[in-house]
Chains A and B, each alone.
Chain A
């Protein structure tokens, strides 16, 4: 006989098969128009998300006194200068796009200083364009599902176990593609 005598499963099909701790699927677009063109969300949702992210950007984006400080955090193409009437200007990250998605709040996205084709969002969430070069901006694109990168992860220790100092260092090269083949 060339086949298994029996094939029995003890876990499959019985429990919901979802990986623990998975984040909801996130999308990112450079503009409301790109979001509308992608057709995954209604035009109203696209515009609402863009406006919300833009407001957050204006209110909460970090301000830097010098261009160098901003460039260190957001890369050479990720910053813009703002002039203040009657005062000295400042530098802040350029809003390159925004993120949205089921169960996710809308947030502005900035240049990932480590990857020209990447954008970063709150908590170090990263987005990579897998539809083609991102740098041009206008192309309507759906960006790879966000992956979280460490920084603020908890580091509780248990007996014999250790504290995690960083998380999310795997998955970036996948660009949202399947790992299997």
Chain B
């Protein structure tokens, strides 16, 4: 794993915008940053990243089987009790999941270590699957990358194949918060994949979803929603006014309800309990668990329901070495600091994508400080050697 400088394509902005990647810059600072690139040898991609991702996913599925019937664990995970039976039902009926992104600590040496699993509403999808791929093809076509190079990224193909096998016929509604450009682009990208999978995609703002007398969800034309992709986390849905309507399984949800157990930061503590000392896990405990004293001096505190790097605290012994503010309170986990890639004060987090249960690509997000937030930069990668 090597960070290299790389000259941006002169027309990179136009290229990004042509595929609907309009949020490539934030306040005129590039979020998509192709002034650098990461190079991986194939044995790191396959031996460390792909293998580690498969192992993590297998542990996650095994953990759901355990957790759905463990009332103490469901309590620790702060899942509302009303939803326990529906979550178990969703798992028992094998509701299909579409995608997820593991955030991994990795520096090229040794196994990848799970930092968290964005199992429910991952973004950075369009830039991972499409923009990064086009960057790679452009550089190869220009002779700037050798013909022997490759990229670990079959996300796009896998999404289309997975969407055609979700058991959905006809209409697929896709919902996101009305005022978030990145979220909207994500559902429009998935709508594009759905169209290529033979479905009839209908984007809708999550705030505009209605409910009819039978408790079924409806769109703005009062059509019943039979299948709903929602880029809106279950942890919020269950606390919303309409959350109770999901209990009767009124439609196919993507992601399915059981994903609520995996998108929770408490998962890291549960995985460590179920698979002690697994090489792809970091030691992790709930805050307040006496066993947490086993953690070394470098510890990261994360709220169970925190998002986008908010309310994270990095502790070095008794000192707080770094922290971010944010709105997330409530229970938290304490996790040992992982072997994160560092280069001249920058840190890089590896996002490892899974689609329909298969590991299929990565994205790298770089931050100037030690905590990856929504201001991180996306850096493309390639495989050589």
> How far, in Å, is A31 (CB) from chain B's closest CB?
23
Pick the residue among B178, B231, B243 that contacts A23 (CB under 8 A).
Answer: B178
| A84 within 8 A of partner (CB) | no
Identify which of B18, B152, B241 contacts A2 (C-beta below 8 A): B152
B154's contact among A4, A156, A165, A177, by CB below 8 Å, is which?
A: A4
Nearest CB of B to A61, in Å: 25
B163 within 8 Å of A (CB atoms): no
B19-A174 in contact (CB<8A): no
Given contacts A19-B204, A156-B222, contact A169 B209 (CB under 8 A): yes
Give the Cβ gap from B25 to chain A, nearest Cβ, in Å: 17
List residues of B (260-274) whose CB comes within 8 Å of A's CBs: none
- How many chain A residues touch B (Cβ–Cβ < 8 Å)? 53
User: Using Cβ atoms and an 8 Å threshold, which residues of chain A touch B150?
Assistant: 1-3
A171 and B207 form a contact (CB under 8 A) = yes
For A179, give its contact among B152, B204, B231, B361 (CB under 8 Å).
B231
B285 is an interface residue with CB less than 8 A from chain A? no
Instruction: Tell whether, in the assembled complex, residue A162 and residue B212 are in contact, meaning their CB atoms are under 8 Å apart.
Output: yes
Q: Which of B185, B213, B239 contacts A165 (CB 8 A)?
A: B213
Task: Report the minimum CB–CB distance from A176 to chain B (whole Å).
Answer: 7
Is B123 part of the binding interface, using a Cβ–Cβ cutoff of 8 Å? Answer: yes
Question: From residue A2, how far is it (CB to closest CB) to chain B in Å?
Answer: 5
Given A130-B327, A162-B216, A180-B180, is A168 in contact with B207 using a C-beta cutoff of 8 Å?
A: yes
**Interface contact B207-A147, CB-CB below 8 Å:** yes
B189 touches A179 (CB 8 A): no
| A22→B205 contact, CB < 8 A | yes
The secondary-structure label for the interface of chain A is loop
| Cβ-closest chain A residue relative to B233 | A179
The answer to whether A3 and B152 have CB atoms under 8 Å apart is yes
Question: Interface size of B by Cβ–Cβ distance < 8 Å?
Answer: 81
Tell me whether A157 and B209 are in contact (CB under 8 A).
Answer: no
- In the assembled complex, B177 has its CB within 8 A of some CB on chain A: yes
Q: In angstroms, how far is the closest chain B Cβ from the Cβ of A177?
A: 7
Give the distance in Å from the alpha carbon of A151 to the alpha carbon of B221 in the complex: 17
- Given that A3-B133, A20-B204 are known contacts, is A25 also in contact with B220, CB under 8 Å in the complex? no
Q: B308 on the interface (CB 8 Å rule)?
A: yes
**Cβ 8 A contact of A180, one of B20, B121, B136, B204:** B121
Q: Complex: how many Å from CA A157 to CA B180?
A: 31
By the criterion CB–CB under 8 Å, are A175 and B191 in contact?
A: no
Which residues of chain A come closer than 8 Å to B182, judged between CB atoms? 178, 180
Interface with B: A9-17, A35-43, A91-99, A134-142, which one?
A: A9-17
Query: Any chain A CB within 8 A of the CB of B237?
Result: yes
* In contact, B307 and A181 (Cβ under 8 angstroms): yes
Residues of A within 8 A of B129 (CB): 4, 7
**With A1-B150, A168-B208, A179-B121 known to touch, is A20 a contact of B220 (CB < 8 Å)?**
yes
Can you name 21 A-B pairs with beta carbons within 8 Å?
A3-B361, A10-B192, A12-B19, A17-B185, A19-B203, A21-B208, A130-B327, A147-B178, A158-B222, A164-B210, A164-B222, A169-B209, A171-B177, A171-B232, A173-B237, A176-B177, A178-B374, A180-B183, A180-B231, A181-B123, A181-B308
